[in-house]
Amino acid sequence: MTRFLQTVYTHRIKALVILLAAVFGYVATNLPNLQKDGRVEAFMHESDPALDTYYAMRREFGQDNRLVVAVASDNVFSTEFLTKFSRMHRELADNVPYVSEIFSPYNIPFIEHEDGGVYLEELVRNMLQRGRDPQELRERILSTPLYQNFIVSKDGSTAAVVIEPYRYAPAANDCVPDPSQGLICPAVFTPLSERALLGAPQYAEMTAAARQIVARYEGEGFDVHIAGAPVLSTEIVRMMEGDMPRFTLACVIITVLAMLALHRSFLIAIGAFLSFATAIFSTLATISLTGTAMTPPTQLLIPMTLVVGLCTYIHFIATVLKTRSTEPDGRKALANAVKKANTPILFTALTTAGGLLGLAAAPLAPITALGIFGTVSVGLSYVLAMIWATLVFRTLPERYLNRQSDKPGVIASVLHAGAMMSARSPRQTLAVCGAFVLAAGLGIFQLSYSHNSLLWLPGDNDARLSTEYIDGTFQGTVNLEMVITPTEGLDFRDETLLKAVEETARGSYAAVDIPIGRHTSIISFVEETNQAINDGDPAALTIPGQEEIWDQILLLEGQGIDDMKRYVSMDYSSGRVSFQTPWLEAKLYSDVIQTIETRFEAALGDTATVESTGLIALLAKTSKKVLDSMTVSYALALALVTAMMAVALRSVGLGLVSMIPNVAPFAVLLGVMGYLGIPLDTFTVLIGGIITGLIVDDTLHFFHNVRERLSAGEIMENAIGGAMAEIGRAIFTTTIVVMAGFAVFTMSSMSNIQSFGLLMASGALLALLSEVFIGPAVLMIYDRLTNRQPTAAPARGLADAPA
């Protein structure tokens, strides 16, 4: 590193040109392709069995990611309302892209029995064409299970257009035939497993088009709400796109102000800004290069890169300037600074990377990505900060360099006083700090886990308000899917099987603690047909005998009712029962899924297998996996950080001791969260791995400086005081940078990110206090225990402790 940085120092112009050209070329090539994704599926690994099951269900039966446009009115069953509603339906059908199916009162199949035959009509379309009064069919419509809480609310106050997207995303080489131009398409077979499923970019297009259309219809007596999983994921991505520039700009301002306040040099401030900018854009370009999408958790890379890079920059530039105050030769001063500071700086980077790598074992894809690309960011920040600090040092004017002093300032003196108070009364200090940590840490037992992306949005957000309205009116905007596969010799037309499935589905409403808006399967179509055949008799809304089932399904196929095919496979070898529920806290779904799945398994026995899937199942499994893996991820992060500390300090015992001031702030933070009722969510669950790695920066510099002084013959108390006086200003500055860096999250549009930012900023302050008071105390006690001699003995110190 010394030779490398001296080369940069000597050939600063060439180094600057090469560095900027390399970074600009890499970023310009890859960054424009950066993707963003806020879907529930984006939280799962591609290899996750739950995601495989979900995608298999979508390929077989169709989408459950639906857009819902609900319209409330004082009189839904009026010709005036339905005429306007029908125009909106047609415009949505014609102008929203990627629409596979669209349902509403306008076109929903209406099965009628007239003159000895069964007729299939489009409900409102034919009603309006015939000039019939909609009030005549009001009771029939509201009593039809196929319509209830689907295209009309149970109380009849709201009608809805339900848009089901394509299963697959269009490919660049897709061919669209145009007979009028003589264009035909060759027959090309592509296995379904190789087709890309519809994703975030297409959902965003659909949502934007739908919103633009419905905005023209909004008015008195036509209160429009648009919701659904595609709308929610699009809204999260939109907020990310708004947050990222704000985060980046705030980080730039913090960088410049911190350097101006610390060194009163615009050139040093510019160097810090370039260090951050090149590191973050290179990291984002790397994410884009790998095809990984940015998700809400991976936004944390922006302040993390600022903190890691700026801490490296601050420590190194401070060390270089101090060595220059006693060594006028720039190359020699640089070499001395590298010799003195590179080891703690390097191992700080390694320990921070170790803390982040612990997250790579997480079961959620965004957290794994944060761990992996956070490690990339740490490596880039370390190298780039050292280069930019060297270039700045080489460019600083001589008069500025000559003004530098190695004497501690006011900040360092204050921290020195605190450290010495702790060092002189270590047992008392640890007793007080230990009691505080214990009292705060007891709150950990009150922690709970939460995952509800709807609550990430502000309370006045349109997407959130619409989702809550439709959930309240229709009792649901998301689905739980039960895929039922009959055993050999049976299919999904068997009378006994269908009756067992329907009885179990109906009984599930009272068996769970959350509202269920409706359930739908092929049985719904069979029952509706059976009622129509029996002249609309409500008592005939039931499953008929086996012969009638075969006849009625054949009749439905002949009438062209393709809707029922969304609930059964082409050969009737499997079917699904779709339960509609509100968008709720993920952990609430776990018991619901277990209850319903167990009921089906008990009812069907060995006649069929049952598998739960759908967005609700993904949410529930996401919640459970985070909780199950949290302990493992934290343990792995702590183990890696501890190992790195032991190597850096050349002592296993000292490495273990150094973790005490690192872990204490984390324990206090979790306890405070428990007392305040702040849950662990997809963001706050990351605090342990991230803050442990960041706190290590100050700990390692402090402990390493103490050890170096002990090796030079100082006694422990003097070594502690000298180390704090030397690096106190840098420790204080890095703390302020960490706090400010994560405080930028309070600018976020999403409430969970705001909470995360405040917690991380608080954790940084706790870390500084821990470093000043707990660090010196544990060093003094460890020194006494390992040496078994009075601390005043100059010939024996911590540096001689066995490794």
User: In this predicted model, what pLDDT tens digit does every residue of 387-422 receive, in sequence order?
Assistant: 999 999 999 888 888 776 666 668 888 888 998 999
pLDDT class for 226, splitting at 50, 70, 90? Answer: very high
Nearest-angstrom CA–CA distance, 760 and 780: 29
Name the DSSP letter for residue 131: T
pLDDT score at 407: 66
Nearest-angstrom CA–CA distance, 371 and 361: 8
pLDDT class for 612, splitting at 50, 70, 90? Answer: very high
pLDDT score at 560: 61
pLDDT score at 223: 93
pLDDT score at 802: 38
Nearest alpha-carbon partner for 512 in 617, 591, 619, 615: 591
In degrees and rounded to multiples of 5, residue 448 shows phi and psi of -135, 160
Considering only the C-alpha atoms of the chain, give the largest distance between any 2 of them, rounded to a whole number of Å. 111
pLDDT class for 692, splitting at 50, 70, 90? Answer: low
Which residues is 92 bridged to in the sheet? Answer: none
Instruction: Inform me whether the pLDDT recorded for 317 exceeds 70.
Output: yes
- The pairing of strands 67-72 and 117-122 is unpaired
* Ordered DSSP codes for 224-245: EEEESHHHHHHHHHHHHHHHHH
Q: What is the pLDDT of residues 458-481, one digit of tens each?
A: 888 899 999 999 999 999 888 899
Higher pLDDT, 302 or 573: 573
Nearest-angstrom CA–CA distance, 636 and 356: 10
H helix intervals, 327-364: 330-357
pLDDT class for 382, splitting at 50, 70, 90? Answer: very high
Q: What is the pLDDT of residues 662-675, one digit of tens each?
A: 888 888 888 888 88
The dihedral built from the CA positions of residue 648, 649, 652 and 653, taken in this order, carries a sign that is negative
Element (H, E) at 71: strand 67-72
Which residues is 294 bridged to in the sheet? Answer: 36
The dihedral built from the CA positions of residue 590, 596, 599 and 600, taken in this order, carries a sign that is negative
**For residue 750, is it left (φ>0), alpha (ψ between -120 and 50) or beta?**
beta
How distant, in Å, are the alpha carbons of 76, 127, 161, 521 from that of 121? 20, 9, 18, 20
Highest mean pLDDT among 38-52, 94-108, 449-463: 94-108
Q: What is the pLDDT of residues 34-84, one digit of tens each?
A: 988 888 888 888 888 888 888 888 888 888 888 999 999 988 888 889 889
pLDDT class for 217, splitting at 50, 70, 90? Answer: very high
pLDDT score at 112: 66
Mean pLDDT on 185-196: 76
CB 152 within 8 A of CB 77: no
- The pairing of strands 293-294 and 35-36 is parallel
Please provide the size of the chain in residues: 803
CB 307 within 8 A of CB 737: yes
pLDDT score at 142: 84
CB 453 within 8 A of CB 568: no
Q: Does residue 483 sit in helix, strand or coil?
A: strand
- Min mean pLDDT across 343-352, 675-684, 717-726 is at 675-684
Average pLDDT, the chain: 84
pLDDT score at 227: 93
In degrees and rounded to multiples of 5, residue 720 shows phi and psi of -60, -50
H helix intervals, 584-658: 586-604, 615-649, 652-658
Instruction: Inform me whether the pLDDT recorded for 141 exceeds 50.
Output: yes
Q: Which residues contact 147 (CB under 8 A, 6 or more apart)?
A: 105, 108, 141
List the structure tokens of 725: 């006086």
Instruction: Inform me whether the pLDDT recorded for 716 exceeds 60.
Output: yes
Instruction: Inform me whether the pLDDT recorded for 794 exceeds 60.
Output: no
Extract the runs of DSSP E, i.e. beta strands, from 403-514.
478-486
How distant, in Å, are the alpha carbons of 469, 476, 507, 695 from that of 228? 11, 9, 26, 41
pLDDT score at 367: 83
Instruction: Inform me whether the pLDDT recorded for 304 exceeds 50.
Output: yes
Instruction: Inform me whether the pLDDT recorded for 630 exceeds 70.
Output: no
pLDDT score at 693: 62
Nearest alpha-carbon partner for 639 in 441, 361, 367: 361
Buried b / exposed e over 423-444, threshold 16 CB at 10 Å, is beebeebbeebeeebeebbebb
Q: What is the pLDDT of residues 487-527, one digit of tens each?
A: 988 899 999 999 999 999 999 999 998 999 999 999 988 88
* Ordered DSSP codes for 10-68: HTHHHHHHHHHHHHHHHHHHHGGG-EE---SGGGB-TT-HHHHHHHHHHHHH-----EE
- Min mean pLDDT across 65-69, 196-200, 329-333, 609-613 is at 196-200
Buried b / exposed e over 101-121, threshold 16 CB at 10 Å, is bbbbbbbbbbbebeeeebebb
How distant, in Å, are the alpha carbons of 47, 70, 325, 356, 644 from that of 400? 57, 67, 10, 38, 37
Nearest alpha-carbon partner for 757 in 251, 50, 225: 251
Buried b / exposed e over 251-288, threshold 16 CB at 10 Å, is bbebbbebbeebbebebbbbbbbbbbbbbbbbbbbbbb
Nearest-angstrom CA–CA distance, 390 and 422: 36
CB count in 10 Å sphere of residue 240 = 22
Name the DSSP letter for residue 658: H
pLDDT above 70 coverage of the chain, percent: 93
Higher pLDDT, 176 or 82: 82
Which residues is 122 bridged to in the sheet? Answer: 109
Q: Does residue 305 sit in helix, strand or coil?
A: helix
Q: Which residues contact 30 (CB under 8 A, 6 or more apart)?
A: 285, 286, 288, 289
pLDDT score at 743: 82
Q: What is the pLDDT of residues 770-782, one digit of tens each?
A: 889 998 999 999 8
Instruction: Inform me whether the pLDDT recorded for 611 exceeds 90.
Output: yes
Instruction: Inform me whether the pLDDT recorded for 13 exceeds 80.
Output: yes
Nearest-angstrom CA–CA distance, 360 and 368: 4
pLDDT class for 29, splitting at 50, 70, 90? Answer: very high
Element (H, E) at 109: strand 109-114
CB 531 within 8 A of CB 541: yes
Element (H, E) at 555: helix 546-559
Mean pLDDT on 602-611: 93
